[in-house]
Structure 1
Amino acid sequence: MKIAVLGTGGGARCHIARLAELGHQVVVGTRDPKTTLARTEPDMMQNQPYGRWLADHPGIPLATFREAAAGADLVINGIDGHNAVKALTAIAEQLKDKILVDYSAPYTYNPDIEHPWPTPWGVNPIPDPCDSDSLGEQIQRALPDTKVVKAFVTQEQATVVAPKAIGGGDHTVFVADKDADAKQAVTGLLTYYGWSDILDLGDIVTARGMEMYTHMHGAIGFALGFGTHFGIKVVR
């Protein structure tokens, strides 16, 4: 399968490397390939410059968002939540009739709020939208001809692509969309990654729950020690 991964951050890199390892044809999308490759400083999450990372993963092409999406069978959205709707709307034609897996979190960074949640890197970001809307729904409304599946967002992406690294893989991942065939395709990808417990939450509206869970995920991470990967299990 030809899969486009949009974004070059740490999460996207997990998917890029794992998909290539599994034998898929991977193309990576970024706003401006020349600018991305010219960076020499780590990003905000202290990931090494993409060009340096790419040197250790040769043969994976880097293109614009538009070029990457145009030839793909399935697209994974790793664009940061603040810019996702705008960037994806700009390539709506290339995403038409395709499955878009969205794992972006709708974070607003450095929020000016009355009761901040302090973290080692400053005020914890806040989800916006939440409660009455979600980023997944916003993307679906912006792309009515695209099948948007919300998934992956309740785990670190390193865990999404290698679930058996934690508890032998005995934990739960979620998918949401109104299109059963699209969810089945994403479920197939998760199965290739190694997941066995994949819970269908229903319509894309349930993306609200997945996105709001990110705060709980962060709280658990702080309790376990920052950088500790973990899984959650729905016990029936």
Structure 2
Amino acid sequence: MKIAVLGTGGGARCHIAKLLELGHEVVVGTRDPRATLSRTEPDMMGTPPFGRFLAEHPAADLRTFGDAAAASDGLVISGIDGHSAVNALSAIADRLAGKTLIDYAVPFIYQHEPEHPWPTPWGIMPKLEPVDTDSLGEQIQRALPRTKVVKSFVTQEQSTVVNPASVGDGEHTMFVAGDHMDAKQQAIDLLKSYGWTDILDLGQLVCARGMEMYAHMHSAIGFGLGQQFGGHFGIKVVR
């Protein structure tokens, strides 16, 4: 299957590498391929330049966001950062029409000055926007009414999403939410191919609010485990 991955950051690279390992064709989307390949310095998260990753994964095909989405067989994974996702995806709405879009972004705002800051080992904890009464997943669905949006992957580091067995032999829970059952099934099938055995369908896309707001708890658990950035652990829903 030809699958599009939009984004070139660390999380997107996890999916690109895993999908290639599973035998899929992968088309990678970025805003400006030339600019992406010209970078020689790590990004703000310390991730090495994408050109180095691409040299190690030459089967991946780097294109613009729109061209990558159009080339997919119907499944698109969005690793575009939460602050930019709605605008970037709206600009290629026609290319995403009729396709399933799995969004895993957290709608973080990094540059803010809270009245009561939460200091972390890497700076002030970003704030969520939207929160409570809306979600990034819902915003994307409203902006792309002809696309079937699924929220998933967002409660784990992407390195764990593509390799659940790396934590507790895979005995933890992954979540999906969306308004289209066929699209959710595509996400579930992909998760199963990654190795997930415990996948909980939370229901409609409105449940993306809960998944996105969990991001702060994910960070807190990581800090409690002594993990300064990210979190190599899983959560299990015990029925």
Query: Cα RMSD over matched residues?
Result: 0.7
1:229 to 229, 232, 237: 232
Give the match for residue 7 of structure 1. Answer: 7
Amino acid aligned to 1:198 = I
Give the match for residue 95 of structure 1. Answer: 96
Amino acid aligned to 1:33 = P
Give the match for residue 64 of structure 1. Answer: 64
1:127 and 2:128 aligned = yes
Task: Check whether the contact 2:155–2:215 (CA below 8 A) recurs between aligned residues.
Answer: yes
Cα shift readout 1:43-63 (whole Å, capped 9, x = no counterpart) = 011000000111111221100
Whole-angstrom CA distance in 1 between matches of 2:58 and 2:133? 43
Superposed counterparts of 1:1-236, under 5 Å: 1-72=1-72, 73-224=74-225, 225-227=227-229, 228-236=231-239
Cα offset for 1:25? 0.6
Cα offset for 1:112? 1.1
SS class of match (1:81): coil
Amino acid aligned to 1:74 = L
SS class of match (1:216): helix
Task: Check whether the contact 1:32–1:64 (CA below 8 A) recurs between aligned residues.
Answer: yes
TM-score by length of 1: 0.99
Point out where structure 2 has 5 or more consecutive residues left out of the alignment: none
Whole-angstrom CA distance in 2 between matches of 1:213 and 1:148? 19
Cα shift readout 1:22-52 (whole Å, capped 9, x = no counterpart) = 0001010000000000001100110000001
Cα shift readout 1:71-117 (whole Å, capped 9, x = no counterpart) = 11200000000000000000000000100000010000031110011
Amino acid aligned to 1:89 = S
Task: Check whether the contact 2:20–2:59 (CA below 8 A) recurs between aligned residues.
Answer: no
Amino acid aligned to 1:88 = L
Cα offset for 1:226? 2.3
SS class of match (1:182): helix
SS class of match (1:66): helix
Amino acid aligned to 1:147 = K
SS class of match (2:203): coil
SS class of match (2:165): helix
Question: How many aligned positions are there?
Answer: 236
Whole-angstrom CA distance in 1 between matches of 2:82 and 2:180? 23
TM-score by length of 2: 0.97
Whole-angstrom CA distance in 1 between matches of 2:56 and 2:8? 14
Task: Check whether the contact 1:110–1:122 (CA below 8 A) recurs between aligned residues.
Answer: no
Task: Check whether the contact 1:110–1:124 (CA below 8 A) recurs between aligned residues.
Answer: no
Whole-angstrom CA distance in 2 between matches of 1:15 and 1:164? 15
